[in-house]
Amino acid sequence: MKTYGLIGKKIGYSFSRNYFNNKFKNENRLNSQYINFDIDNLSELNNIFNINNYGFNVTIPYKETIIPYLDSLDFHAEKIGAVNTIQIKKGKKIGFNTDWIGFKKSLEPLLKPHHKKALILGTGGASKAVIYALKQLQIQTLIVSRNGETTYEDLSEEIIQNNTIIINCTPVGTFPNTDSAPEIPYQFITKNHLVYDLIYNPAETLFLKKSKENGAVTKNGLEMLEIQAEESWKIWNSSY
């Protein structure tokens, strides 16, 4: 049995397991399975890597901390500093990042000429991939975090209106905590804004709902996930 899987913590909700197992079923790959490796810490990795495995995805909270456990990184993962895909090749564990591709391809069709600057909410591995993708699109970024140079308390009308793309890279608002949202001044969001939430469950987070009420174009992270999953599949089945 060829085993693929997702490495993360508290990942029972995960999109990936159903996505790939349905893919295997539809493609009649009866010798393949995709399972969740829900671990409390990375000391459990050795047991996982000893399984007859062919590839992994990596999610919160290990996209950055897993890097020292790998043998090498591809160009993009090294630049980003985060990994969401691992290829097993001749016993070597190679880290890739397909999040940035998924984000870039899902965002690009929505961009208008006035979308020049973006607010990034959060500083984790996902936000690093988003920033990398925006750099490819020549969009300036301003990172917002609780303790960074720019905090949520700093967000003024001027900052919100100057940054017409706002992207939530935090887990705030994820099921089952659907009554929460990043604490930003939503009243300053307008129809000129493009508001993107990497969360896909629920399909419309409170963050997106409040932004849409002020006229913003909104999008959740489902298409990004689907694209990055297909890019992962290409990597596992390639001779990178």
Domain shared by 62 and 140, yes or no:
no
Q: Which of 71, 97, 123 is the last residue of a domain?
A: 97
Question: What is the per-residue pLDDT for 239?
Answer: 55
Residues 204, 124 share a domain: yes
Q: Reply yes or no on whether the pLDDT at 240 is more than 60.
A: no
Percent of the chain past pLDDT 70, that is, above it, reads 99
pLDDT band of residue 52 (cuts 50, 70, 90) is confident
161 and 217 assigned to the same domain: yes
Kindly state whether residues 127 and 197 are assigned to the same domain: yes
Q: Is omega for the bond preceding 176 within 30 degrees of 0, making it cis?
A: yes
Domain check: are 156 and 47 in the same one? no
Give the CATH number, domain containing residue 45: 3.40.50.10860
pLDDT band, very low/low/confident/very high, at 50 (cuts 50, 70, 90): confident
Co-location of 107 and 61 in the same domain: no
Strands (E), the chain: 2-8, 32-38, 53-58, 72-73, 85-89, 92-96, 117-121, 140-144, 165-168, 194-197, 217-219
**How large is the average pLDDT for residues 189-202?**
97
Same structural domain, 80 and 145: no
Are 13 and 81 members of one domain?
yes
Print the domain residue range for 7: 2-97
Q: Is the peptide bond before 202 cis (omega within 30 degrees of 0)?
A: yes
Q: Can you give the CATH number for the domain in which 183 is found? A: 3.40.50.720
Using CB atoms within 10 A of its CB, is residue 221 exposed (0-12), middle (13-18) or buried (19+)? buried
Dihedral pair phi/psi, residue 239, rounded to 5°: -115, 40
Q: What's residue 46's pLDDT? A: 85
What's the structural domain count of the chain?
2
In a domain, 239, yes or no: no
**Where is the domain boundary, 62, 97, 132?**
97
Residue 140 maps to a domain: yes
Q: In which band, very low, low, confident or very high, does the pLDDT at 65 lie, cut at 50, 70 and 90?
A: very high
Write down the pLDDT at residue 51. 76
- Pair (106, 32) in one structural domain: no
- Domain final residue, candidates 97, 115, 141: 97
Residues 82-104: pLDDT tens digits? 999 999 988 899 999 999 999 99
Residues belonging to the active site: 63
pLDDT for residue 109:
98
As a whole number, the mean pLDDT across the chain is 95
149-191: per-residue pLDDT in tens? 999 999 999 999 999 999 999 999 998 899 999 999 999 999 9
Q: What is the mean predicted confidence (pLDDT) over 28-44?
A: 94
pLDDT of residue 53: 84
Q: Supply the pTM of this predicted model.
A: 0.93
Nearest to 16 by CA among 69, 52, 61, 57: 57
Asked if the structure places residue 108 within a domain, the reply is yes
pLDDT at site 32: 93
Predicted confidence (pLDDT) at residue 124 exceeds the cutoff of 60: yes
Higher pLDDT: 53 or 112? It is: 112
